[in-house]
């Protein structure tokens, strides 16, 4: 499989993670339970994710070193914010998290862990590809 195809597939999966995180946390924001994430943090996470996707897609379509580095910086900020949200959201994370009352997407936080750890691994791969000059 061509490296460009892998990068585009990982980009599509990253878009799904950003979208599902937004949908899941905003849909359950009115319930008592694990999703006690302030709206400003959720909005920042979504804006960072969309910005990272847009800059990354521009980079993939017309690679330039500066654009690639900007995309990586935004991706890394997005991943850190996402992991911090996930850490706060997990059961047993202290006073911020409580068992979900009605979580119809999956039993527990496993879908979110899969998405965010997967995005972390994808961004590590993106970083390798950009710094090693494999894109283009």
The runs of H, that is alpha helices, within 28-107 are: 39-61, 65-89
> pTM, whole model, 2 decimals?
0.81
Task: Please give the backbone phi and psi of residue 25, each rounded to the nearest 5 degrees, phi first.
Answer: -75, -35
Helix (H, G, I), strand (E, B) or coil at 108: coil
pLDDT of residue 37: 72
Question: Where exactly are the structural domains of the chain?
Answer: 3-20+38-131
pLDDT tens-digit readout, 87-121: 876 666 555 455 555 555 555 677 778 888 999 99
Question: Residue 20 pLDDT more than 60?
Answer: yes
Length of the chain: 136
Helix (H, G, I), strand (E, B) or coil at 35: coil
Tell me how far apart the alpha carbons of residues 55 and 9 are, in angstroms, rounded to a whole number.
16
Task: Please give the backbone phi and psi of residue 66, each rounded to the nearest 5 degrees, phi first.
Answer: -65, -45
Two tokens, residue 102? 């009605």
């Amino acid at each position: 499989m061509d490296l460009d195809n892998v990068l585009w597939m990982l980009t599509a999966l990253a878009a799904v993670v950003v979208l599902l995180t937004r949908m899941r946390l905003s849909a359950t924001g009115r319930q008592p339970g694990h999703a006690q994430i302030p709206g400003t943090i959720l909005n920042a996470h979504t804006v960072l994710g969309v910005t990272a996707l847009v800059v990354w897609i521009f980079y993939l379509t017309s690679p330039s070193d500066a654009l690639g580095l900007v995309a990586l910086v935004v991706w890394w900020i997005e991943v850190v914010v996402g992991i911090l949200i996930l850490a706060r959201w997990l059961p047993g994370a202290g006073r911020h998290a409580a068992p979900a009352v009605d979580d119809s997407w999956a039993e527990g936080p496993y879908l979110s862990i899969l998405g965010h750890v997967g995005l972390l691994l994808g961004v590590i791969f993106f970083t390798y590809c950009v710094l090693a000059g494999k894109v283009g």
